[in-house]
Amino acid sequence: MNHELNLFGVYVAPFVGDLLFAAVIFFILRGLLARARLSTRVWHPALFELCLFVFVLSATVYLP
Protein backbone atom coordinates (compact mmCIF):
# COMPACT_ATOMS: atom_id res chain seq x y z
CA MET A 1 0.00 0.00 0.00
CA ASN A 2 1.16 3.49 -0.77
CA HIS A 3 0.82 5.92 2.07
CA GLU A 4 1.90 9.49 2.34
CA LEU A 5 5.24 10.17 3.97
CA ASN A 6 5.20 12.46 6.98
CA LEU A 7 8.20 14.79 6.80
CA PHE A 8 8.19 17.20 9.73
CA GLY A 9 4.41 17.47 9.67
CA VAL A 10 4.11 17.80 5.90
CA TYR A 11 2.54 14.92 4.03
CA VAL A 12 4.41 14.07 0.84
CA ALA A 13 3.27 11.66 -1.86
CA PRO A 14 5.47 8.58 -2.42
CA PHE A 15 5.97 9.72 -6.01
CA VAL A 16 8.33 12.42 -4.73
CA GLY A 17 10.76 9.69 -3.69
CA ASP A 18 10.62 8.28 -7.21
CA LEU A 19 11.29 11.75 -8.60
CA LEU A 20 14.35 12.24 -6.40
CA PHE A 21 15.75 8.81 -7.24
CA ALA A 22 15.20 9.42 -10.96
CA ALA A 23 16.86 12.84 -10.69
CA VAL A 24 20.00 11.30 -9.16
CA ILE A 25 20.21 8.70 -11.92
CA PHE A 26 19.49 11.36 -14.55
CA PHE A 27 22.31 13.63 -13.38
CA ILE A 28 24.73 10.71 -13.40
CA LEU A 29 23.70 9.78 -16.94
CA ARG A 30 23.80 13.42 -18.01
CA GLY A 31 27.37 13.73 -16.79
CA LEU A 32 28.40 10.56 -18.59
CA LEU A 33 26.75 11.68 -21.82
CA ALA A 34 28.33 15.13 -21.54
CA ARG A 35 31.72 13.51 -21.14
CA ALA A 36 31.02 11.54 -24.33
CA ARG A 37 30.07 14.86 -26.03
CA LEU A 38 26.69 13.54 -27.07
CA SER A 39 25.05 16.99 -26.97
CA THR A 40 26.83 17.92 -30.20
CA ARG A 41 25.23 14.94 -31.96
CA VAL A 42 21.57 15.44 -31.06
CA TRP A 43 19.22 17.84 -32.78
CA HIS A 44 17.80 19.52 -29.66
CA PRO A 45 19.83 18.92 -26.48
CA ALA A 46 17.20 20.25 -24.05
CA LEU A 47 14.48 18.09 -25.59
CA PHE A 48 16.81 15.09 -25.50
CA GLU A 49 17.48 15.66 -21.78
CA LEU A 50 13.76 15.99 -21.07
CA CYS A 51 13.08 12.70 -22.85
CA LEU A 52 15.94 11.06 -20.98
CA PHE A 53 14.51 12.20 -17.63
CA VAL A 54 11.03 10.97 -18.53
CA PHE A 55 12.51 7.62 -19.58
CA VAL A 56 14.48 7.27 -16.33
CA LEU A 57 11.46 8.31 -14.24
CA SER A 58 9.16 5.84 -15.96
CA ALA A 59 11.76 3.09 -15.55
CA THR A 60 12.05 3.78 -11.81
CA VAL A 61 8.27 3.77 -11.38
CA TYR A 62 7.50 0.65 -13.42
CA LEU A 63 10.48 -1.54 -12.58
CA PRO A 64 10.41 -3.16 -9.14
Provide the pLDDT confidence category of residue 33 given band limits of 50, 70 and 90: very high
In a domain, 7, yes or no: no
Model confidence over 14-28: pLDDT tens digits?
888 899 999 999 999
In a domain, 2, yes or no: no
In a domain, 43, yes or no: yes
In a domain, 48, yes or no: yes
In a domain, 50, yes or no: yes
pLDDT for residue 2 is more than 70:
no
Cβ atoms of residues 26 and 56 within 8 Å: yes
pTM listed for this prediction: 0.82
Cα–Cα nearest to 55, from 33, 35, 25 = 25
Number of domains in the chain: 1
φ, ψ at 42 (rounded to 5°): -100, 155
Q: Lowest-confidence range among 2-6, 17-21, 42-46, 60-64?
A: 2-6
Domain range for 47 is 13-62
In a domain, 40, yes or no: yes
Element (H, E) at 48: helix 45-62
